[in-house]
Every structure is written in C-alpha cells, then in structure tokens.
Amino acid sequence: MKKFIIMIPVYNDWESLKKLISEINENIEIIKNVQVECLIVNDASTINQPKLNRPKNIKSIKILNMRKNQGHARCNAFGIRYIIHNETFDHLILMDGDGEDRPSELESLIKKGLKNPDYSVVAKRIKRSEGLFFRFLYSMHKFLTYLFTGKKINFGNYTCLTNKDVEIISSKPSLWSSYSGTVKKNLSNLLEIDSIRGMRYFGPSKMSLFNLIIHSFSIIAVFKLQALIRSFFIIIILGYLNKFFTLDLVFLQIPVILFCIIIFLVSLRENEKELLKSSENLINIKEFNN
C-alpha cells in the first residue's frame, strides 16, 4: 500500500480547511490500496483553531503550529523539510487550503503517481477562475517567465512529488522563495494532469496584483543566471536594431536593465541558512487520529 501525505499551508482560513478536508475525504474514497494522511502547516494564525474531526478515509491529521508567520512559500519550504526528516511516505501532495486546488482532481493526481511511481506529477493549469484582467496579467507572467528563463511553468503548488524528488528539493535555497521555480529547475521528466483553477470556498482570492508580481519575479529569480544571459542578448539586439529605427530604442533597454536589478534583489530572498534552520519556528504538533 502506497502512502500519500497531503500538505496544506493555512493562515487563519480554518473554515476553508474544514471544507477542504471533507472534500478530500470524499474524493479519495474510491481510490484503492492507498493510505492518505494530511499535514497542516499553521503559519502562525491569529484566529484560534477549531476542533477538527478526522474523516474515515484519512488515516491521520497533523497540525504543525508555527511561532512566526513567514508567508506561503516559506510555509511550504518548512513543511517539505519537516516531512522529509520526520515522516515515511511514497508521495507528497501539496495543496492550497482555500479550494482553488480542486479536491476533485486528486483522483487523477494520485492515479498518475501510482501508475508512474518514479515520476513526480504537476497539475497543469488549463483554465483559471479569475476575471479577464487577472487572466491577462497571468498570461503576461507566463510569457515573461518563458522569455527570460526559457522554461514553461504552467503549474503552481498543486503537485504530487515522489519521495526521492522531495529529498532533492528539500535542501535547495530557492525553495525558501519559490516552490514551482525550484521544482522546474531541479526535477526532470515531470508528468502532468490537466487542472482547472477552482473558486475559493470563502472570501476573495489572496493573489493580488502585488502578490502576482512577487510570485513572477520569485520564479524568474530561481533562474537568475539564464535571465541575466537572455537580458544581455536582448540589450545587444535592441542596440543593433537601433541603427535601423529613427526612434531611439534605449527606452526599451533601460527597463531590461532595471528588470535584471530587480531579479537580483528578489533572488536575495533565497536563503539557505534560514531554510536549514526553519524547524526552529515550530512550536508544537497536534495530531488527530480518532
């Protein structure tokens, strides 16, 4: 029997978590010969935790309570390091706790992992639920990522990693800043399932314009060397094309230079020391087995 751990970061959104756990339980019921556990990383929530009941199809629920709030990416990084050092498992599934990663797709994700036990699986976004303007901005994010890194990153946190791949990324400094960028850079032969971005269970999306920009820059910063090389060639090409235009193209070169500076500054978020000592932020663990 293969063991899957589903890791879910949470900050205050306990009502969504309760609904998510219920839907996870419903959607894994038909999957045979697997053992599923849930590990919740409580990112120093300011709202008291409700009492959680363990549904019948989930073997155990653990809540790791953090001392200091550090944000979504670092919450994931801490959880990954905790699991690789303290849990036995075959596959690790990362999910957001608000319903945007749809539990109805767990069956496809788990079955793909079972069929291909040596490969990690990502949930490729084929459709999003946000408004037209946000979808346009997200398309720009994917375009810029591809332009400056040469990588097509069409997935977020919703993934199913093998034990071996979890170990590979668990010590990468970039994990402290960007999960999806770290996965794309360090893991090869990723398999995919089609995924539709769901609607939040409660309240508006937390992915603001500012958060989207930081998210995009953090991914590109994982590939900062490639981004620097590509930026250099873009600047050279613009300088060459400037000979054939009456309009001075320096107004395009300057943003590219500024972009490189921003990427360098964002890359400073990658902190191996903080990653390796992240366990110090753990206060206690609550476990629900009954």
Express each pLDDT in 141-177 by its tens digit. Answer: 888 899 899 998 989 999 999 999 999 999 999 999 9
Within 13 Å of residue 173, how many CA atoms lie on the same side as its CB? 12
pLDDT tens for each residue of 181-233: 999 999 988 999 999 988 889 876 666 667 778 888 999 999 999 999 999 99
Domain 2-204+272-288 has CATH 3.40.50.11740: no
Tell me what pLDDT residue 52 has. 86
* pLDDT > 90 in the chain, percent: 67
| Cα dihedral across residues 206, 175, 196, 210: positive or negative | positive
Q: What span, in angstroms and rounded, lies between the C-alpha atoms of 246 and 120?
A: 51
Confidence tier at 53 by pLDDT (50, 70, 90):
confident
Q: What span, in angstroms and rounded, lies between the C-alpha atoms of 136 and 129?
A: 12
Query: For residues 170 and 88, is the Cβ–Cβ distance under 8 A?
Result: no
Widest CA span of the chain, in angstroms?
75
Helix (H) or strand (E) holding 93: strand 91-94
pLDDT tens for each residue of 243-281: 776 666 677 888 899 999 999 999 998 999 999 999 999
Tell me what pLDDT residue 290 has. 65
Q: Which two tokens stand for residue 74?
A: 């670092």
Query: For residues 231 and 161, is the Cβ–Cβ distance under 8 A?
Result: no
- Count of CB atoms situated within 10 Å of the CB of 36: 21
Q: What span, in angstroms and rounded, lies between the C-alpha atoms of 103 and 198?
A: 9
Confidence tier at 128 by pLDDT (50, 70, 90):
low
The DSSP symbol for 269 reads T
From edge to edge, which strands make up the β-sheet containing 191-196? Answer: 191-196, 121-127, 159-162, 91-94, 2-10, 34-42, 60-66, 282-288
Domain boundaries, the chain: 2-204+272-288
